[in-house]
Structures are given as structure tokens and as C-alpha cells.
């Protein structure tokens, strides 16, 4: 039996669609959102350790999808790891972040801490260290198509994103095949791109010129603040763009395309999907 946490989330749903329903259980916080999952469900919350008692009983593998609440995830994740250990889970597959142990991104710290607690638990593990989802840029694609331009502060830095479906397919491959215990996979798109490359791709897909305005970090911060984004989001977005020159979101291992057995989804394909 495979248990998938975060089953009603976007990644969880994609993973479930690739697994045998009869052999799969989705762990959910809100049963009302799980009626269409097509698999048996159990209720449990990362914020409520008591609710996780028995959540993983009988599991052969657990896909542990990381929480989304930055700043709270170490305690939340500890509750999941403790419950998995108590249930004697034979294999815990965790969705981490690219180069979690060396990444300059501040949000990587919680993933690094989670990986360490999993190692210390003694549970056989697989770390799926995901780069960014291309879908995270859907609002940028849409805004650029509507206005003819977009602004960031990434300079010539590059990132290697992949579609969420690619990462889900990699998780399914690990969950449904043998030989992945105690392995770390660095998962990223096959082709790295800069924001200048993005402008060119948008121009091709949209069929009209799209310009990229490269801002200073201060200018980027001001633009995001003027747009009404909360300070912690502003800080994160500016930090991400400044990290691109350090290679925080690129990887040349080829782990992702190797796991899924085909090239990762192209930037142009993701743009076209977002603009349909």
C-alpha cells in the first residue's frame, strides 16, 4: 500500500492519478475536498500530531509532500516523521528542494532540517529534491501576454524549471519501482533559461513582442511592494532572483528526465498551457 500525504494539493492529485487506486491511500486534512480523489482516504494534519497516529499503518511506501507554510515546516514535518517511524514505514519518499544541503535559498533550511531528521529516524528514504515548478510563473506569463512586458531582477541568471506533472511522474516512478532506498535525486528541467530567454519564448508563443525589464534588487523590491505583496513574499521573490546567478535552481544531473523516461516539459509548452 502507498500513502500519499497532501493528497488534495495540486502535486498530490497528479501523483494519485498515476498510482493504482486500489493500492493507494490519500492523507487529507479536509475530507470534504477529497470526494473526487478516487482513492481511499485517511484524515490527518501536519499541525496535529495526534491526528497522524495510525495514518501510515500498513503502508509499504509513503510519499511525504512537504508542507507549504514557510516558517512552520520543521515542527510540522517532525510530526510526520515521528508518525511514520511509529508505524514502521519501510520507505519514506520526501519532496525536498533542489540542492537542499547547499542551497543559498533561505527556504531550503527547513528542507535541510527535514532531511536530517529523516536520516536520524532510521527510516529508509528517498529525497526528491525538486527545482521550481514552471507553473509558479503562470501569473508572469499571463501578465506579460496582456501587457507586452514583465519585470524581475534576475539579470543573466538562469533556472531549470519543470512542469508539476514532470515532478509528479518522477514521484510515481519511485513509488512504483524498486531500488530507490537511501537515494537523493536532484530534479530539474533539462534546459535552463534566463528571463531574457523567457521574453523570447513568450514572444514566440504569444506572437507579439514581449520585453523583459531587468530591475535592480531595490527596484524589484519597490515594484512588488507597490503591487501590494506582503513583506515576506517580497523578500522571498527578490531573494530568488538574486540566487539565480549562484545556480540555486539549476542542475545537470539529468535525474528528472531519467526517472520519467522522457525529456522534461519545455518552457514553450508550459507557456502555451498557461495561456490557453
Q: Are 3 and 27 in contact (CB under 8 A)?
A: yes
- The model carries a pTM of 0.96
* Of the options 1.10.357.10, 3.40.50.300, 3.90.25.10, 3.40.718.10, the CATH number for the domain spanning 132-161+188-251+263-276: 3.90.25.10
pLDDT digits (tens, 9 = 90+) for 221-248: 999 999 999 998 999 999 999 999 889 9
pLDDT by 10s per residue, the chain, length 276: 999 999 999 999 999 999 999 999 999 999 999 999 999 999 999 999 999 999 999 999 999 999 988 889 999 999 999 999 999 999 999 999 999 999 999 999 999 999 999 999 999 999 999 999 999 999 999 999 999 999 999 999 999 999 999 999 999 999 999 999 999 999 999 999 999 999 999 999 999 999 999 999 999 999 999 999 999 899 999 999 999 988 999 999 999 999 999 999 999 999 999 999
Q: Whole-angstrom Cα distance, residue 52 to residue 73?
A: 15
| Residue extent(s) of CATH 3.90.25.10 domains in the chain | 132-161+188-251+263-276
The CATH 3.40.50.720 portion of the chain extends over: 2-130
Q: What are phi and psi of 68, to 5 degrees?
A: -105, -5
Three-class DSSP category at 59: coil
CATH T-level topology, domain 2-130: Rossmann fold (3.40.50)
Q: CA 24 to CA 163: how far, in whole Å?
A: 23
- Cα–Cα distance measured from residue 111 to residue 128, given in angstroms and rounded to the nearest whole number: 11
Amino acid at each position: 500500500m502507498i500513502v500519499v500525504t497532501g493528497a488534495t494539493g495540486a502535486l498530490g492529485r497528479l501523483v494519485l492519478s498515476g498510482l493504482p487506486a486500489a493500492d493507494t491511500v490519500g492523507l487529507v486534512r479536509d475530507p470534504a475536498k477529497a470526494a473526487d480523489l478516487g482513492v481511499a482516504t485517511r484524515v490527518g494534519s501536519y499541525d496535529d500530531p495526534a491526528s497522524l497516529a495510525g495514518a501510515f499503518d500498513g503502508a509499504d511506501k509513503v510519499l511525504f509532500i512537504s508542507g507549504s507554510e514557510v516558517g512552520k515546516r520543521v515542527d510540522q514535518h517532525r510530526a510526520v516523521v515521528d508518525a511514520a517511524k511509529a508505524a514502521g514505514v519501510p520507505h519514506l519518499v520526501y519532496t525536498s528542494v533542489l540542492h537542499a544541503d547547499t542551497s543559498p535559498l533561505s527556504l531550503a533550511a527547513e528542507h535541510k532540517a527535514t532531511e536530517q531528521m529523516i536520516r536520524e529516524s532510521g527510516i529508509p528514504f528517498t529525497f526528491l529534491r525538486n527545482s521550481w515548478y514552471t507553473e509558479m510563473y503562470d501569473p508572469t506569463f499571463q501578465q506579460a501576454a496582456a501587457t507586452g512586458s514583465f519585470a524581475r531582477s534576475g539579470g543573466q541568471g538562469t533556472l531549470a524549471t519543470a512542469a508539476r506533472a514532470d515532478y509528479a511522474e518522477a514521484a510515481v516512478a519511485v513509488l512504483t519501482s524498486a531500488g530507490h532506498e537511501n537515494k537523493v535525486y536532484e530534479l530539474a528541467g533539462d534546459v535552463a533559461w534566463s528571463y531574457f530567454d523567457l521574453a523570447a519564448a513568450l514572444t514566440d508563443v504569444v506572437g507579439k513582442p514581449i520585453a523583459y525589464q531587468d530591475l535592480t534588487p531595490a527596484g524589484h523590491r519597490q515594484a512588488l511592494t507597490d503591487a501590494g505583496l506582503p513583506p515576506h513574499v517580497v523578500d522571498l521573490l527578490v531573494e530568488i532572483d538574486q540566487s539565480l546567478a549562484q545556480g540555486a535552481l539549476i542542475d545537470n544531473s539529468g535525474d528528472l528526465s531519467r526517472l520519467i523516461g522522457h525529456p522534461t516539459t519545455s518552457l514553450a509548452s508550459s507557456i502555451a498551457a498557461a495561456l490557453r
